[in-house]
Structure 1
Amino acid sequence: MARRAPWLAGIGAVPFLIVVVVAVVGAAVPAMGRFVVEKSSVRVLSPEHIRGHHDAAIGNFGVPDYGGTLTGVVVYPDKKATGCAEFDAKFKSKSRRPVILLLDRGECYFALKAWNAQQAGAAAVLIADNVDEQLLTMDTPEESPETEYIDRISIPSALVNRAFGESLKRMSSPSPSSEAAVEVVVKLDWRESMPHPDERVEYELWTNSNDECGARCDEQMEFVRGFRGHAQIMERGGYALFTPHYITWYCAPDPEQDFGEGYEGKDVVVENLRQLCVHRVANETGRPWAWWDYVMDYKIRCSMKEKKYSKGCAEDVVKALGENEIHGLSLDKVLECMGDPEADTDNAVLAKEQEDQIGRGSRGDVTILPTLVINNVQYRGKLERTAVLKAVCAGFKEGTEPRVCLSNDIETNECLHRNGGCWRDEKTNVTACKDTFRGRVCECPVVNGVQYEGDGCWARQVYGGQRRLLDTALTGCRCPPGFQGDGHKCEDLDECKEKLACTCPNCHCKNTWGNYECKCKGNQIYIRGEDTCIANSMSRFGWFITILVASCVAGVGIAGYVFYKYRLRSYMDSEIMAIMSQYMPLDSQNNENQPLRQHDSEA
């Protein structure tokens, strides 16, 4: 009897730590895990005698302002200094600067401290360590009814060492409301927390195809749905190189943690492998963005919760994408990449995943699921569309970021405030200020094809070899939404040509006067909420049955309503069974080989 393929052995195993698996891969792989603490800078601006730079460890929750800075006043509360209980009032500074709340470590979860600080009006929170040790990453606690606040934390958090924390406490007391208080002004700086060496960002998402793991799986699904459009725009424009990865064990945890029913760990491993191969095949054909559409379609059509998580459903999705020339996925090539799951050999694709999981250079081992790695640095913060987009945009060299990075919801246009300190002609409104994700740069502008020049961008231009004044005045008038121009003359904006809407690959965009229409190509159904097209596999007979059933249901509903209105005066209550959630194996356990990450301050 042939033995089972080693990468599918023990498919009913319970969750366990990655470090155990890493040790199994081979002697060449180090058994000790390595966790890298990602840091930001804290610069004390005043009082003058304590000025200086200090390191802070970025928390693994909330929203770090990658590429940005925050200047505020440090406030150390007179009471409830651990931040484990709600504060009685909002914190304010005398100078009306943002409040950066300083709290003591201990007694409760780090995340709870950040939540209470946010509720009290803090723009950021610093937590002072209570022991002399190297900085560690404040991790997210296990999801439970008592920790529902985690996803609502929107301020950045960081841990500072004991000595620096004690210094801030002494200078921040007494309370800012006191006349004798001295405001300690600090600048939190994340500009160098994300490497930004060139005009292309390389990033990875370590994920899992399982959708029956509770809140963490739901978080991944929401992220894929919300970030897909941004990711595909950047990939098609050559701005970004994206690679999906899967933390894949030789034996995967049982999705329901019940070996007698439902799906097995093997099912998850095989689908992880399939999604890896979808990306490989799509990448070989020059369409790597097809992975996002496959994952989205698979989540919609082949949900584990709806008992449709199967090989047949997955292959139908691949075929549907293969029929569209935009994707051109080949099922044969995907199957060739996957190999035989029952073969008595190691799987090369999965072995490569376990090798990539090991940290190299500045990046530590991947030990948290899900995890984003951007320019070889592990992202800290919650997995949310806007927060991640800001982190990715911070990875571009200044001035090379794509248009999607300059939207109002993720960056502030510094040129709108006093022209960013750059030259501007008051008469023509021509300015040298150019907005970038990290701030602004001052460059002599080009107006109507003519380049301004000279120190300070004099209000003169070189035209035909001679200097003359600029003729065309630029005013503050603006065209209405859906149109473009100088405010005096407006033309219809072609959203389809500019790729401002209807961005999914299978969508067909039709421009209209001041607007646009979005439809799917071929026999596909457009799902507006998901901004995606999925194959319409229903036959005409199926449609007939569906319409017939719908008509019957409608008839019964009308009859029931009439009966209720005139004959029935009581009603029935129904209850939905709670779906048991399980948590990802690595986000709720401490790894004794990785001491630089903790869920809370004491436990």
Structure 2
Amino acid sequence: MGGGGGARPFLAVVMAVAVLAAMVAPARGRFVVEKSSVRVLAPEHIRGHHDAAIGNFGVPDYGGTLTGVVLYPAKKATGCAEFPAKFKSKSGRPVVLLLDRGECYFALKSWNAQQAGAAAVLIADTVDEQLLTMDTPEASPDTRYLDKLNIPSALVNRAFGESLKRMAEKADAEGEVVVKLDWRESMPHPDERVEYELWTNSNDECGPRCDEQAAFVKSFRGHAQILERGGYARFTPHYITWYCPEAFRLTRQCQSQCINHGRYCAPDPEEDFGEGYEGKQVVVENLRQLCVHRVANESGRPWAWWDFAMDYKLRCSMKEKKYSKACAEEVVASLGLPLEKVLACMGDPDADADNAVLSKEQEDQIGRGSRGDVTILPTLVINDVQYRGWLAVAAPSL
């Protein structure tokens, strides 16, 4: 993190996090596990369809299928250590490596499988429970492989996993276990136009998550604008906000992190209430960027949001101490957007009243239908389904 006041006592950090969690509350909802289908094609006596939970890393083949042979390692079956040799099927079909859950990150298992020649990974649960989404670990020197992970992965339930293991171990006598992984129903296409949302943040001091968002906006901007100009897609940006419970609204924490008397909040960028920028400045800038999109949309140039977001990150960075109202308004003016309309859309951040734009954002955060809550940044939602996998230009199926 940038700009903080150096090392702080560990207890103070723990207390700050605890206070923030207790006082700044997200809207309530639910988390939906996005699923793909695994169809067993052979041997014939175990044919059938099974659900699998798509991992939140790697690159799922949305809209496509993959037919391959299930192999189960005789050793290192958790996949937590590098495999000594490449896996190959006797028939030459792609390898779908089956691994056991436990002992290390899900993503590390997939990385070791990819390095050993696997085209996809199935991870067998070790307990009887509902399927869950295998999440991405926090970026660190030990997880540098994450941006190189490009094969799909999925979690299967314990019973199905055990069945696949038994059949894979008998493959020499009874034939290869052939499965078809199917992502065609994972991303619905109700009409000829793709509707997608990017949940992001104007804060650029949140570490690797912020860097990932900035890199995606930079690399996808041109593609997004072509899709929107051609009528092939409709894009909507979103920003997560929280609220401060009534009883805490006069505290320093809420006043530092919230606008409109505690109704809309964002965490302190430096996690230090006495240093650098405040959470409420992030909320105001998020609101501005929402209004830039609304005004651009009204003027028939919805794609101008991508230019604003990119220019703002370049010209108004927190890291360079330029994150400000003045800088933002210069960017608005440079794009030829009417500043007075943006300001009218934003309203008064100091008013003891609801803000229609941010109230809609809080409502949209909550899961509905087949889509779960938005809880992680960045989050891409395509046709009302949360995209799972690494956020990169080559990945989303737009």
Q: Tell whether the structures are fold-level matches, with TM greater than 0.5.
A: yes
In the TM superposition, residue 258 of structure 1 has moved relative to its aligned partner by 2.2
In the TM superposition, residue 346 of structure 1 has moved relative to its aligned partner by 2.3
| Separation of aligned partners in 1, 2:164 and 2:301 | 52
Q: Where does residue 351 of structure 2 map in the other structure?
A: 343
Q: Where does residue 280 of structure 1 map in the other structure?
A: 294
**Equivalent residues in 2 for 1:205-220 (5 A)?**
205-220=198-213
In the TM superposition, residue 123 of structure 1 has moved relative to its aligned partner by 0.5
- Does residue 70 (structure 1) correspond to residue 66 (structure 2)? The answer is yes
Of the candidates 113, 137, 146, which is equivalent to residue 141 of structure 1? 137
Q: Where does residue 375 of structure 2 map in the other structure?
A: 367
| Separation of aligned partners in 1, 2:160 and 2:323 | 52
| Separation of aligned partners in 2, 1:196 and 1:84 | 37
| Separation of aligned partners in 1, 2:351 and 2:288 | 16
| Separation of aligned partners in 2, 1:385 and 1:98 | 25
Kept in 2, the 8 Å contact 1:86–1:116? The answer is: yes
Deviation per CA, 1:312-369: give whole Å up to 9, x if none: 10000000101xxxxxx11010011111222222222111100111111221111121
- Does residue 188 (structure 1) correspond to residue 181 (structure 2)? The answer is yes
| Separation of aligned partners in 2, 1:246 and 1:58 | 24
**Equivalent residues in 2 for 1:432-581 (5 A)?**
none
Q: SS in structure 1 opposite 2:61? A: coil
Which amino acid is 1:262 matched to? Answer: G
- The higher relative CO (CA closer than 8 Å, separation ≥ 6) is in 2
Q: SS in structure 2 opposite 1:61? A: coil
**Equivalent residues in 2 for 1:248-267 (5 A)?**
248-249=241-242, 250-267=264-281
Kept in 2, the 8 Å contact 1:74–1:186? The answer is: yes
| Separation of aligned partners in 2, 1:361 and 1:146 | 37
Of the candidates 231, 242, 246, which is equivalent to residue 238 of structure 1? 231
| Separation of aligned partners in 1, 2:346 and 2:38 | 48
Kept in 2, the 8 Å contact 1:110–1:138? The answer is: yes
Structure 1 unmatched runs, 5+? 1-12, 24-30, 323-328, 393-603
Of the candidates 21, 24, 33, which is equivalent to residue 25 of structure 2? 21
In the TM superposition, residue 260 of structure 1 has moved relative to its aligned partner by 2.2
- Does residue 114 (structure 1) correspond to residue 147 (structure 2)? The answer is no
In the TM superposition, residue 80 of structure 1 has moved relative to its aligned partner by 0.4
Kept in 1, the 8 Å contact 2:24–2:265? The answer is: no
Q: Where does residue 318 of structure 1 map in the other structure?
A: 332
| Separation of aligned partners in 2, 1:353 and 1:263 | 22
| Separation of aligned partners in 1, 2:22 and 2:150 | 29
| Separation of aligned partners in 2, 1:63 and 1:118 | 12
Kept in 2, the 8 Å contact 1:14–1:253? The answer is: no
Q: Where does residue 384 of structure 1 map in the other structure?
A: 392
Q: Where does residue 130 of structure 1 map in the other structure?
A: 126
Of the candidates 215, 219, 225, which is equivalent to residue 226 of structure 1? 219
Q: Where does residue 103 of structure 1 map in the other structure?
A: 99
Number of equivalenced pairs: 361
The structure carrying a bigger helix percent of its residues is 2
| Separation of aligned partners in 2, 1:17 and 1:129 | 31
Deviation per CA, 1:38-66: give whole Å up to 9, x if none: 11011111111111111110001100000
In the TM superposition, residue 17 of structure 1 has moved relative to its aligned partner by 6.1
Of the structure 1 ranges 271-280 and 196-205, higher mean CA displacement relative to structure 2 is found in 196-205
Which amino acid is 1:21 matched to? Answer: A
Cα root mean square deviation, aligned: 1.7
Of the structure 1 ranges 244-253 and 106-115, higher mean CA displacement relative to structure 2 is found in 244-253
Q: Where does residue 357 of structure 1 map in the other structure?
A: 365
Deviation per CA, 1:444-497: give whole Å up to 9, x if none: xxxxxxxxxxxxxxxxxxxxxxxxxxxxxxxxxxxxxxxxxxxxxxxxxxxxxx
Q: SS in structure 1 opposite 2:265? A: coil
Deviation per CA, 1:389-414: give whole Å up to 9, x if none: xx22xxxxxxxxxxxxxxxxxxxxxx
Of the candidates 323, 331, 346, which is equivalent to residue 309 of structure 1? 323
Deviation per CA, 1:216-237: give whole Å up to 9, x if none: 1110011001111111111111
In the TM superposition, residue 182 of structure 1 has moved relative to its aligned partner by 2.5
Q: Where does residue 424 of structure 1 map in the other structure?
A: none
Kept in 2, the 8 Å contact 1:14–1:254? The answer is: no
Tell me: CA distance 1:338–1:18, structure 2 relative to 1, closer, same or farther (3 Å): farther
Q: Where does residue 259 of structure 2 map in the other structure?
A: none
**TM-score normalized by structure 1?**
0.58
Of the structure 1 ranges 257-266 and 57-66, higher mean CA displacement relative to structure 2 is found in 257-266
Which amino acid is 1:223 matched to? Answer: F
Q: Where does residue 526 of structure 1 map in the other structure?
A: none
Which amino acid is 2:25 matched to? Answer: V
Q: SS in structure 1 opposite 2:68? A: strand
In the TM superposition, residue 266 of structure 1 has moved relative to its aligned partner by 1.3
**TM-score normalized by structure 2?**
0.88
In the TM superposition, residue 259 of structure 1 has moved relative to its aligned partner by 2.1
In the TM superposition, residue 18 of structure 1 has moved relative to its aligned partner by 11
Which amino acid is 1:119 matched to? Answer: Q
Q: SS in structure 2 opposite 1:204? A: strand
Q: Where does residue 592 of structure 1 map in the other structure?
A: none
Q: Where does residue 434 of structure 1 map in the other structure?
A: none
In the TM superposition, residue 199 of structure 1 has moved relative to its aligned partner by 0.5
Which amino acid is 2:34 matched to? Answer: E
Of the candidates 30, 33, 49, which is equivalent to residue 34 of structure 1? 30
| Separation of aligned partners in 2, 1:88 and 1:41 | 30
Q: SS in structure 2 opposite 1:386? A: coil
| Separation of aligned partners in 1, 2:44 and 2:369 | 37
